[in-house]
Amino acid sequence: MLNIFILAVAAAVGGLLLHPRLANATLWRAAITPLASIIGSGFLVLGPILMTSFGKYAPLVMTALCLVAYVFGAAIRFNIARLADRATVRSKAENRLETMASWALAFAYIISVAYYLNLLGAFAVSMTPLNDAFYAKLVTSGVFALVLVVGWTMGFHALERMEQVTVGVKLAIIAGLLFGLVWFFAQRAGSGALVVNPLQVGGWQAIALVAGLLVTVQGFETSRYLGDEYTPAVRIRSMKVAQWISTTIYLVYILLLTFAFDAAKLDLSETAIIDLMAVVAPILPLLLIVAAISAQFSAAVADTGGSGGLIAELTHGRITQRAGYVVLVAVGLMLTWAMSVFEIISYASRAFALYYAVQAMIAAKGAWSGHGGTGKAAAFAVLGVLGLAIAVFGSAVE
């Protein structure tokens, strides 16, 4: 019966997302890209990591992660608004920082593609007899080869159309998952079987681990690059909407997960969420695998195209987009065979933290120039230092 309800909820949410009034609303169309990025790959791995590492404090850690993401978003929103002001003339220092930010983002994209495709490989083999790291890496390597061939020969325009479909599928499946979790949580609460998991990490280790998870709430910055389609005011609002919705989803998800399952019985891996959801309802693991494979592939395509385009732009065409794809795939394959998914997550977090740090520095310089006051300039400067600290000290799950 629960399987039927989960499918019904997923279908209802999917239908709502396709309703013309919502699907064609300007603000929603602008918000769906950052929203899909924020609750993409991170949703699959973050719950088990926080539950096993922080126990009953996992919801507080999730709140802290979302808050850090929101204040970094504030710096980017400030930069969007300042660029929209026709009276604004950026200094040479700001322009140099913007170039640095673009290089940081291109580098972050390269690592994030490895992150997406390694998760794809892990989920692809998770319910097969070949469920181990070696075969997962083989699948990932094969998809990297596919990405390179398609990007080199045809470009990604045809594949990018997948994003519109996969976003709806992913959000609908997440809605079904949350419904199943609420049902399971209520049953556990009714029978007095809720658990209070103990804290497993603390001190500096806990801080470094949280820093290494920033990429799981990353994606809001995509609003910064929708300028050809939406006004600055819409892009600013779209980022806020995406972060508000994703924060609500994440907090509900982590709260339910933390107190419904015994972390001591969980074998932490990149696909641990499948084992947990199999306890909730038999249909959920299959739905999660469908969502994971489609969403990771479309996200990888988007970031591959973004990275190749940035590299070509930053080198003024000296490195072509095709050559950029080769670099991305080469680095991705090295990361795949040299590191675990959790290690790649930490490096991706640090790369995005560097990008956010530079954006915060640009905001600080702009505010100091008279567009926000010394108080706001100081706040953005502190945020920039925080981003640099995350980039340096973020660590992987052990």
Mean pLDDT, rounded, of the chain: 85
User: Percentage of the chain surpassing pLDDT 70?
Assistant: 94
Give the residue, 154 or 257, on which the prediction is more confident: 257
- What integer pLDDT is reported at residue 213 of this predicted model? 86
- What integer pLDDT is reported at residue 151 of this predicted model? 76
Determine what percent of the chain falls in helix, strand and coil, rounding each to the nearest 5: 80, 0, 20
| Global pTM exceeds 0.75 | yes
What does the alpha-carbon distance between residue 398 and residue 342 come to, in Å, rounded to a whole number? 8
Q: Which residues of 357-377 are buried (b: 16+ CB within 10 A; e: fewer)?
A: bbbbbbbbbbbbbebbeeebb
pLDDT band for position 255 (cuts 50, 70, 90): very high
Is pLDDT of 88 > 70? no
Query: What is the rounded average pLDDT of the residues 57-62?
Result: 94
- CB of 213 closer than 8 Å to CB of 65: yes
Residue-wise pLDDT for 62-76, tens only, equals 999 999 999 999 999
pLDDT band for position 93 (cuts 50, 70, 90): confident
- What integer pLDDT is reported at residue 298 of this predicted model? 73
Query: What is the rounded average pLDDT of the residues 266-291?
Result: 86
What does the alpha-carbon distance between residue 225 and residue 235 come to, in Å, rounded to a whole number? 9
pLDDT band for position 163 (cuts 50, 70, 90): low
Task: Of 13-22, 134-143, 298-307, give the lowest mean pLDDT range.
Answer: 298-307
What does the alpha-carbon distance between residue 307 and residue 259 come to, in Å, rounded to a whole number? 40
Residue-wise pLDDT for 215-239, tens only, equals 888 888 888 877 667 888 898 999 9
Query: What is the rounded average pLDDT of the residues 267-290?
Result: 86
Residue-wise pLDDT for 321-366, tens only, equals 788 888 888 999 999 999 888 888 888 888 889 999 999 998 888 8
- CB of 256 closer than 8 Å to CB of 181: yes
Give the residue, 168 or 205, on which the prediction is more confident: 205
pLDDT band for position 158 (cuts 50, 70, 90): low
CA 157 to each of CA 180, 312, 326: distance values in angstroms, whole numbers, following the listed order? 36, 17, 18
Task: Of 21-25, 47-51, 153-157, 262-266, give the lowest mean pLDDT range.
Answer: 153-157
Give the residue, 52 or 370, on which the prediction is more confident: 52
The amino acid present at 31, given as its one-letter code, is A
Across 163-167, 244-248, 270-274, 308-312, the highest mean pLDDT is recorded for: 244-248
Domain spans in the chain, listed from the N-terminal domain onward: 2-85+95-393
- What integer pLDDT is reported at residue 157 of this predicted model? 62
- What integer pLDDT is reported at residue 342 of this predicted model? 85
- What integer pLDDT is reported at residue 337 of this predicted model? 93
Task: Of 73-82, 83-92, 109-118, 255-264, give the lowest mean pLDDT range.
Answer: 83-92
Q: DSSP string covering 101-138, please?
A: HHHHHHHHHHHHHHHHHHHHHHHHHTTSTT-SHHHHHH
Is pLDDT of 162 > 60? no
- What integer pLDDT is reported at residue 216 of this predicted model? 83
The CATH number for 2-85+95-393, chosen from 3.30.70.20, 3.30.565.10, 1.10.1740.10, 1.20.1740.10, is: 1.20.1740.10
Residue-wise pLDDT for 98-122, tens only, equals 888 888 888 888 888 888 889 888 8
- What integer pLDDT is reported at residue 68 of this predicted model? 92
Residue-wise pLDDT for 280-301, tens only, equals 888 988 888 888 887 787 777 7
Is pLDDT of 156 > 80? no
Give the residue, 384 or 310, on which the prediction is more confident: 384
Chain-centroid distance of CA 75 in Å reads 18
